[in-house]
Amino acid sequence: MSDHDAVEVITTKRDHGELSGSQIEWVIDAYTRGEVADEQMSALAMAILLNGMTRDEIARWTAAMIASGERMDFSSLSRPTADKHSTGGVGDKITLPLAPLVAACGVAVPQLSGRGLGHTGGTLDKLESIPGWRAALSNAEMLDQLESVGAVICAAGDGLAPADKKLYSLRDVTGTVEAIPLIASSIMSKKIAEGTGSLVLDVKVGTGAFMKDLDRARELASTMVELGTGAGVHTVALLTDMSTPLGRTAGNAVEVAESVEVLAGGGPADVVELTVALAREMLAGAGMGDVDPADRLADGSAMDAWKAMIRAQGGDPEAALPTSRESHVVTAPSTGVLTRLDAMAVGMASWRLGAGRARKEDPVQDGAGVVWHARPGEPVTEGQPLFTLHTDEPARFERALASLDGGFDIGPEGSSYAPGPLVLDRIG
């Protein structure tokens, strides 16, 4: 018999109390085993959302989630490891060029990624648009690939922080996703259990991000940096702007194509800037700060690492990417300068075209998405293509167009546009 029961834990937090280490360990373990019911964990999650947690509680909660499953160990590898986690954005294809770029610099990248839900795209969905590529690898396959290729992007196995998997789906349907202690412990329990030596967090801020507000984003970032550092992982966070979508594409195959452009030494300036900035942080964290990642984009070695990584997971990096059956062009209503492109509007349009999913079990379309032909600050001419929408089902165009309505501004010719910085702050 345990000294604890679910109601006692719930009422402690309901009444603004601090949960003890043993209460936290008990409730996470009992919930993972099915002894604490979903409705009880829902009540506790809501109490945490409303009343918060101390840093000590969050650290213990995270440790209990890690203890619910296995821990991976990369100490047998011949090179140091570094990983990156993004809190999710629109057009955020950064993981795709980043993992092979860092691998080309001599640091192994064990990138456990997820699928998209709602308006933010999922890295695995993007890569699955490459013919033959597979997301599911065993731990042994992952280790082999990290040694031979230096980079792997794959789905997290069921063994890592199973408590998180269970709690994550519960938060989704109970209105408790926004709780900073629960977001921080969810992300960090998986990343610490994954066993990476250093970690860079890309915490997005702005209309298209989960965190709209800079202060809340900073609180989340510093909580996660503290959790990582406390667990012995070299952890740094960059707060980056997500008011404007990244690059010129949002979707699946269209984002893969853009990532390949970056690896070929081209691609949109903002995608290159953020990829290189995150690569520098990952290399510094792994003790390889003297290597300049920009050189590896220029000399083709990052592209070689990309092709090797895709081939190792059954994909054909030379194969033509899937395209959607239907497309629709939106033209510029006036001549002038594009002064605003709203990330949320673009993300919703891409989702409604079929690039994302409303429920975890929904399929996604490989070819669906949005391409924009101008970025803020660039001139546009009335009648020129502003967006191209892609989908297999033309019935989807109407709702996607409704998402874009009001999602951009065109100022008069000669309008001055000063873009804000992409990296807003660094914590750690």
Q: Mean pLDDT throughout 1-21?
A: 93
**Cα three-residue angle 159-164-166, rounded to 5 degrees:** 95
Give dist(CA 208, CA 345) in Å, integer: 8
Token pair 């702005």: residue? 206
Tell me the percentage of the chain whose pLDDT exceeds 90. 90
% pLDDT > 70, the chain: 99
Q: DSSP for 351-398? A: IIIIIS-SSTT----SS-EEEES--TTSEE-TTSEEEEEEES-GGGHH
How many CA atoms are closer than 13 Å to the CA of 177, on its beta-carbon side?
A: 8
210 or 146, which is more confident: 146
Single out the residue of 235, 230, 237 nearest to residue 198, CA to CA: 235
CATH topology of domain 82-157+194-312: Pyrimidine Nucleoside Phosphorylase; Chain A, domain 2 (3.40.1030)
Domain ranges within the chain, ordered by starting residue: 6-52, 82-157+194-312, 326-411
Distance CA 237, CA 224 (A): 8
First to last CA, the chain: 43
pLDDT band at 307 (very low <50, low <70, confident <90, very high): very high
Specify whether domain 326-411 bears CATH 1.10.8.50: no
**Average pLDDT, rounded, for the chain:** 95
Residue in this structure with the two tokens 């406390």, named with its chain if needed:
230
2.30.40.10, 3.40.47.10, 1.20.970.10, 1.10.760.10: CATH of 6-52: 1.20.970.10
Taking residues 327-333, report their average pLDDT.
Answer: 98
Longest dimension (CA), the chain: 74
Least confident of 79-88, 354-363, 398-407: 354-363
User: What is the per-residue pLDDT for 117?
Assistant: 67
Is 90 exceeded by the pLDDT of residue 401?
yes
Q: What is the mean pLDDT of residues 139-147?
A: 96
Question: Residue 157's pLDDT is what?
Answer: 83
Identity at 132, one-letter amino acid code? G
Answer yes or no: is pLDDT of 361 > 90.
no
* Residue 295: CB atoms within 10 Å: 12
Strands 82-86 vs 198-205: parallel, antiparallel or unpaired: parallel
Which DSSP string corresponds to 234-284? Answer: EEEEEEEE-SS-STTEEESHHHHHHHHHHHTT-S-HHHHHHHHHHHHHHHH
Tokens representing 192? 């610490």
Residue 196: what pLDDT?
Answer: 95
* 124 pLDDT more than 80: yes
Question: What pLDDT, on the 0 to 100 scale, is given for residue 273?
Answer: 98
pLDDT (average), residues 376-392: 97
Please give the backbone phi and psi of residue 336, each rounded to the nearest 5 degrees, phi first. 160, -140
Output DSSP code: residue 26: H
**Which tokens sit at 41?**
């964990």
Mean pLDDT on 45-57 = 97
Q: What is the mean pLDDT of residues 175-192?
A: 94
Please write the tens of the pLDDT for every residue from 279-295.
999 999 999 999 999 99
Q: How confident is the model at residue 33 (pLDDT cuts 50, 70, 90)?
A: very high
What mean pLDDT comes out for the span 304-318?
98
Cβ atoms of 188 and 163 within 8 Å: the answer is no
Per-residue pLDDT at 90 exceeds 90: yes
Structure tokens at 166: 């269970």
Q: State the average pLDDT over residues 322-338.
A: 98
Residue 1 has pLDDT above 60, yes or no: no
Tell me the average pLDDT across 253-273.
98
Contact 83, 196 (CB under 8 A): yes
Kindly list the distances between the CA atom of residue 317 and the CA atoms of 69, 110, 215, in Å, as whole numbers in the listed order: 34, 20, 41
pLDDT reading at 168 higher than 90? no
Rounded Cα gap, residues 203 and 351, in angstroms? 21
Read off the pLDDT of residues 411-427 as tens digits, 9 standing for 90 and up: 999 888 888 999 999 99
C-alpha closest to that of 74 among 98, 114, 109, 112: 109
Helix (H) or strand (E) holding 183: helix 180-194
pLDDT at position 357: 83
Tokens standing for 319? 């194969």
DSSP H or E segment with residue 94 = none
Q: How many CA atoms lie within 13 A of 274 on its CB side?
A: 33
Residue 172: the pLDDT is: 82
* Residue numbers annotated as active site: 85, 164, 171, 186, 190
Q: pLDDT tens, 94-119?
A: 999 999 999 999 999 999 988 876 77
Q: Which helix (H) or strand (E) holds 350?
A: helix 343-350
Both tokens of 317, joined, read 């990096």
CA distances from residue 426 to 140, 200, 308, 423 in whole angstroms, order as listed: 35, 10, 32, 8
Average pLDDT over residues 116-126: 83
What count of Cα atoms within 13 Å lies in the side-chain half-sphere of residue 124?
A: 16
